[in-house]
Structures are given as C-alpha cells and as structure tokens.
C-alpha cells in the first residue's frame, strides 16, 4: 500500500479524498518534525518513532568486500507496539473492517497539553519555593556567622585593656625596683666610708693605751 492507496482507504471515514490526504500529510509531517527534533512519538497499540545516533564505525562494501569507514550518523527507528505485534503474529484476531485495530486513546489523554502545562507550572512553583528556602537558609547562616564574629571581636577588645593594665603594673614595678636599687647603692656607699673612718680611728686608742702603760711603769720605778 502506498500513500495514495492509504488516502483512498481512509477517504470514506474522513468525508472525502482531499480531507484524507490532508490528514495523512499532517500526521506524517508532525511525526517527521518531532523525530528530527529528537523527540519520541509514541502511539499506544501501534508503535513509536524515535531518533537513534549511530557512532562512526567500519563496514564492508558488499560488492567489493573492501572495508569502508562510515561516519557518525543519526537514523529514524520505528518500534512496533505490543498490540501491533500480537495482530501480526496472529496471537490476536484482527477486528472487522468497521472496527479500529489500534486501541483508542483513553479519555483525558488527548488533553495532555493542558495537563502537562499545569504540571510544569507546579514544578516551576516548587522549584521557586525550594530556591527561596535555600536563600533564607543561606542568609540566616551568614547572619549567625556575623554575630559570632562580632561577639569574638568584643571579647577580644574587653580582654585587651586588661592585658594593658597588667603590663602597666609590671612597668610600674620595674620602675620602683630601679628607684630602690640606687637608694640601696647610696646607703651602701654611705656605710662603707663610715666603717673605713672607724677603722682609721682605732689606732688612736692603741696609742693612748701605750701612754698609760708607760706612765704606770714610770711610777713603779720611782
């Protein structure tokens, strides 16, 4: 069956040959455009059309047997549905001419565009909500870290004056020790000459003692 025969086969159901031809052209065009864009076209009970990428490979020329390198390409592929396979294999009986061999689409499935739009809107709102929550968490974490840093700085500032006070007290102690050291040296210098003077005066006592002994011996002789 070619395209013209297909149009003739469905012309009675669509109300004329022209309407049937337009319907076939519209269906095929939609399938081709979707597959070229990389989408998968799936018809329940019939099959699916999809784009398949083939990597570069080596093949043989059937006429010469020569090995030829084939470039990377993309090819369309059709996979028959299970209902189609069952009808072809004979496991299921083909319905009469008045009945449709392919399963009809369930109710509500043909309005999938609206449903998908609603689902996409819900997903977008959910993503925005999660992004807002993440932003709030980041801001709260930044605020807590900033508070901790400021608290550390204030404690450091409070501790710094105490350290300065201790250093000032130590410097005062050192200055007092320096002042006390010269005073001790001065007292030591004063006591040292006094002791020397006392040592110098000691021989005078000895001479007076000698004079008294001489007087005593003279008196005895008389």
Rounded Cα distance between 138 and 123, Å, is 22
Q: Which domain holds residue 48?
A: 3-109
What is the chain's length?
Answer: 222
pTM for the model: 0.46
In a domain, 68, yes or no: yes
User: How many CB atoms neighbour CB 219 within 10 A?
Assistant: 8
Cα–Cα distance, 155 to 163 (Å, whole number): 13
Higher per-residue confidence, 94 vs 21: 21
Task: Count the domains in the chain.
Answer: 1
Distance between CA 94 and CA 172 in Å, rounded? Answer: 114
- The full 3-state SS of 45-111, as one line of letters, equals CCEEEEEEEECCEEEECCCCCCEEEECCEEEEEEEECHHHHHHHHCCCCCCCCCCCCCCCCCCCCCC
pLDDT tens readout for residues 174-200 = 766 566 555 445 444 554 444 554 444
3-state SS class at 43:
strand
What is the reported pLDDT for 165? 45
pLDDT digits (tens, 9 = 90+) for 2-55: 999 999 999 998 889 999 999 999 999 999 999 999 999 999 889 999 999 999
Whether 154 shows a pLDDT value over 90: the answer reads no
Q: What confidence tens digit (pLDDT) does each residue in 193-222 have?
A: 445 544 445 454 555 556 666 666 666 665
Separation between Cα atoms, residue 139 and residue 24, nearest integer Å? 58
- CATH number of domain containing 88: 4.10.520.10
- Record the tokens describing residue 175, joined without a space: 């200055």
């Amino acid at each position: 069956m070619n395209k013209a025969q297909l149009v003739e086969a469905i012309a009675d159901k669509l109300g004329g040959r022209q309407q049937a031809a337009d319907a076939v052209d519209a269906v095929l065009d939609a399938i081709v455009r979707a597959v070229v864009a990389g989408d998968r076209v799936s018809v329940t009970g019939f099959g699916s059309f999809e784009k398949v990428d083939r990597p570069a490979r080596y093949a043989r020329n059937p006429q010469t047997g020569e090995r030829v390198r084939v470039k990377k390409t993309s090819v369309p592929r059709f996979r028959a549905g299970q209902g189609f396979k069952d009808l072809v294999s004979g496991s299921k009986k083909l319905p009469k001419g008045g009945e449709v061999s392919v399963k009809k689409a369930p109710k509500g499935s043909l309005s999938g565009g609206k449903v998908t739009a609603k689902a996409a809107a819900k997903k977008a709102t959910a993503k925005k909500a999660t992004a807002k929550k993440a932003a709030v968490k980041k801001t709260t974490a930044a605020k807590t870290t900033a508070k901790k840093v400021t608290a550390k700085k204030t404690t450091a500032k409070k501790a710094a004056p105490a350290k300065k006070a201790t250093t000032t007290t130590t410097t005062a102690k050192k200055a007092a020790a320096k002042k006390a050291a010269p005073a001790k040296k001065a007292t030591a210098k004063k006591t040292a000459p006094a002791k020397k003077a006392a040592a110098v005066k000691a021989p005078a006592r000895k001479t007076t003692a000698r004079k008294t002994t001489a007087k005593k011996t003279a008196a005895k002789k008389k």
